[in-house]
Chains A and B, each alone.
Chain A
């Protein structure tokens, strides 16, 4: 990146002799929304806390706006942060909470009040200034926490699983709201989550973390469709894995059970006789033959889940079971368990996992 706003360079962090973050590198452009996605315990929070200044990295540095902030205290970094547990000050009203950072910064009263009102408007809770945190729902509290973080006009916004304590409906609406506020203000944002749907739907880019490392960094489209490691492929989205053996490396022929498919140009360097894991997204597989799909396999319907507009079908293919989605059509009956069937896909959609 030509001129990153936030630059994390070779950061490592150990607690005692446990390495929690191992050589983490990331450049984030101004105004970009980047998510850290990964399973529990992979070091997302730790990395975020290093950016905030709550933890000191064991090695490496953090630059914000081109300035090395590695040695700066959290209160000198001009960062806004939203915590999973809301962390509103229970003794202060909503307006006082939002105004906290302004008061600390010595902003004159009238100006601070105007900013508080503006923030209450942005989070669409204009009449809530006089309430106390305990009088608010979780979703409202988290919006106040967002307003509080944004009120002092920070250059960088950090959110650590801000939605995970909320129920599903609020989570989705707040997700959209956070993203639209972020876009409107153009604030550079790092969002930590272990929910892939959240990361995919909100982010400009996603960093998939695994055991303290950034396994892959890319747009949601890239991460989902072109996962670069087995871990990413498995962690993001549902994945069907078929075990195969290369029967002819030169022509790219791979044998799955007794059937063969052609994967020319995808086997980079594997030899005949090698076994491979082939991964396919459910939406890349069709039930029955379909124009444009060059590969077919036979199987047996194992399971049918009627989900309304889509029907999720599980098909046994040899030892493997693959999931695929078909759209519900009122005129044709859904597949029946036990029925023999064919599945088809385009060899271009196959991810070869090494």
Chain B
């Protein structure tokens, strides 16, 4: 009993050290911009940089559109597959996993070939078109997380009976999805959304190769040219990701208690 507990703590301590020491070191380093004393100068410089504000704002906007696209794409799909085509689920799950296997660089070269300004679909011919393509690409990258989150949410409700109950009361598909399905998987959708947000904020490959002014390329650029600011940015990026994760945790507490499956 005693010894097993000792080993458990040891493993925990090693794991925590592995995780936290680089983080603490980075944080410590980010405070050393002013010679001889700790200060938040690096943060002040970073946050005051207009390019930080622009790229960050751009990425947040792209993230919001990506989330909307993901929700519109994934919620009806996952719902329909649970309701009517459960035999297709393994196939769809496999497809949604592909973005984890296929590197983003492959996707972006595919895009450049497919949607160049001379192609029938010249997305890349204009900045707006490229933005749209970026959103679509990000929605693809986030698909594994979004689909899994929504599908897990759908598992907690009796999709078929709730659908039929709504149908017999006169509801059409739009009403069913908007008033019955979506609200009951909202927490799952939101956790998918925050994961998407975290991915989009830090993404480099797509944004850089499509030449969009996103936060990822900015991070890279700063990292290559400055000393203290990248450390500050890394800490900020961590804080954002952690913020997203904590929001997911908090939201999970508010998940509607399912009446169909009483504890």
Contact = CB atoms under 8 A, between A and B. Distances in A.
A76 B170 CA distance: 6
A291 interface: no
Nearest to A134: B257
Q: List the 8 shortest-distance A-B pairs measured between CB atoms, nearest first.
A: A133-B259, A101-B169, A134-B257, A91-B183, A87-B165, A87-B161, A104-B170, A81-B168
B180 A89 contact: yes
A100 B164 CA distance: 13
Contacts of A145: 165
Given A85-B158, A85-B161, A90-B157, A104 B260 contact: no
Interface of B: 157-158, 161-162, 164-172, 175, 179-180, 183-184, 186, 256-260, 262
Interface string A98-122: 0011001100000000000000000
Contacts, number: 88
Contacts of A104: 169-171, 175
A90 B170 contact: no
Given A88-B259, A91-B183, A148 B169 contact: yes
Contacts of A231: none
8 contacts: A74-B167, A75-B168, A81-B164, A85-B158, A88-B260, A91-B180, A104-B171, A134-B258
B260 A87 contact: yes
Contacts of B169: 75, 100-101, 104, 148-149, 152
Given A89-B166, A101-B169, 13 more contacts: A78-B170, A81-B165, A83-B164, A87-B260, A88-B165, A88-B259, A89-B180, A91-B183, A104-B169, A133-B259, A134-B262, A138-B262, A152-B170
Contact of A100 (B166, B186, B258): B166
Nearest to B182: A91
A133 B162 CA distance: 13
Contacts of B186: 91
B241 to A, nearest CB: 29
Contacts of B162: 87, 89
B165 to A, nearest CB: 4
Contacts of A77: 168
Nearest to A158: B168
A136 B165 CA distance: 18
A141 B171 contact: no
Nearest to A133: B259
B183 to A, nearest CB: 4
B25 to A, nearest CB: 46
Interface residues on A, range: 20 to 34
Contacts of A133: 259
Which residue, of B165, B169, B256, has the highest number of chain A Cβ atoms within 10 A? B169
Contacts of B170: 75-76, 78, 101, 104-105, 152
Interface of A: 52-54, 73-81, 83, 85-91, 100-101, 104-105, 132-134, 136, 138, 141, 145, 148-149, 152
A100 B157 CA distance: 18
B168 A80 contact: yes
Which residue, of B164, B165, B171, B184, has the highest number of chain A Cβ atoms within 10 A? B165
A73 B175 CA distance: 15
A169 B257 CA distance: 26
Contact of B164 (A74, A78, A105, A148): A74
B161 A83 contact: yes
A347 B260 CA distance: 52
Given A88-B259, A90-B184, A90-B258, A75 B171 contact: yes
B161 A75 contact: no
B258 to A, nearest CB: 5
A105 B258 CA distance: 26
A100 B167 CA distance: 11
A172 to B, nearest CB: 22
A81 B158 CA distance: 16
A132 B254 CA distance: 14
B259 A74 contact: no
Contact of A90 (B166, B167, B175, B260): B260
B258 A74 contact: no
B67 to A, nearest CB: 21
Contacts of A81: 164-165, 168
A140 to B, nearest CB: 11
A85 B171 contact: no
B184 A91 contact: yes
Contacts of B175: 104
Which residue, of A86, A90, A104, has the highest number of chain B Cβ atoms within 10 A? A90
